[in-house]
Amino acid sequence: MKNKFLTLVGFLALFLLFGCSKNHGNTLYLFNWTYYTPDSVISLFEQEYGVKVKVDSFASNEEMFAKLMAGASGYDIVFPSQDYVSIMIKQGMLKEIDKTQIPNLKYINSQVLEKATYDPEMNYSVPYYMGAAGIAVNTEKVSEYEHSWNIFARKDLNGRMSMMDDMREVIGDALSHLGYSVNSLDDKELEEAKNLIINEWKPNLVKFDAEGFGKTFAEGDFWVVQGYAEVVHSEVTEEQWEKVDFFIPKEGGPMYIDSMCILKDTENYELALKFIDFIHQPEIYAKFLDEFYFPPSVNTEAAQYMTVTPMYQAKEMENCQIKEDIGEGLMKYDSIWQQIRFVD
């Protein structure tokens, strides 16, 4: 779905106030991204197994990770992106998955697993969705434009655009536009990306926004926003759809694999395995895709059960790259991001 390393300290201080103790019994506790858990699927799972599912949400990997590191407990399944799956495996935060109890793993796209180099055997994580942030354009207000990140350099759209408040996404967009890897640690390439954002894109933006872009776009305040398809879809009314163009820029950009991971201290391991298996029943997974107008990138058999046309096609991600765990290099990105965000 969904990287500010140094801000973890702040999150840790905040979330020390929120350590949670949950009464499990027949209740499964999920910790998932906002706009990412279809109520219809949850209801079907509850009916089939005679249980309850409770969902808490987070807006970024940093928020999720900081809360867990600060002592929040009681969650059974969490949905981190690939770089944080890698971190959480190394930190010993995840319970190994008994794949013999998840027969529907056979439907996972092998091409997705090839990209999941951090856990290609699904020992600790099962792909939930593979996607990419893109750009939503109000075609009633903007009639001629290129499917490129450089739309944010358009001075005539000054004051009507936003990009995400996410350093790996925005810096990755600039790196992709310049022809570099979204995981680059090359100082020269990163300097070029920083200058592109500061000098050509940022002057035309109202703000960097990782949470409210769907609302501001739907309300017509912003005409061009970077963000996730599910957020835009959740906020835009059906009557507005004909004037919305959502696309993945031709240069590619950062791509993510969000996964279902069972936390090491789960109190409902068997039920968590059942939930993961349930999600990947092709008919059920198709309901998840339909809910958010996603393309069928992860589950190979779900496409035949879909009833809607996705907001974008999986082939649009051909030039995208998975955001990798870049280790201490994340501090380099954070330093650049602080300059981008807070230096005029």
Q: What is the per-residue burial (b if ≥16 Cβ within 10 Å, else e) of 240-251?
A: eeeebbbbbbeb
Q: Work out the number of other CB atoms within 10 angstroms of the CB of residue 55.
A: 16
In the predicted model, residues of the chain with pLDDT beneath 70 are 1-25
Q: What is the pLDDT of residue 163?
A: 98
- pLDDT at position 237 is 87
- Say how far apart CA 129 and CA 217 lie, in whole Å: 24
Helix (H) or strand (E) holding 162: strand 161-163
What pLDDT score does 22 carry? 56
Confidence (pLDDT) at 162 = 97
Cβ atoms of 74 and 56 within 8 Å: the answer is: no
Q: What is residue 68's predicted lDDT score, i.e. its pLDDT?
A: 96
Angstrom distance (rounded) from CA 319 to CA 309 = 22
The reported pLDDT for the residue numbered 1 is 55
> Could you give the count of Cα atoms lying within 13 Å of 215 in the half-sphere of its Cβ?
5
Cα 53 from chain centroid (whole Å): 21
What residues contact residue 291 under an 8 Å CB cut-off, 6+ apart?
38, 40, 41
DSSP state of 60: S
State pTM to two decimals. 0.83
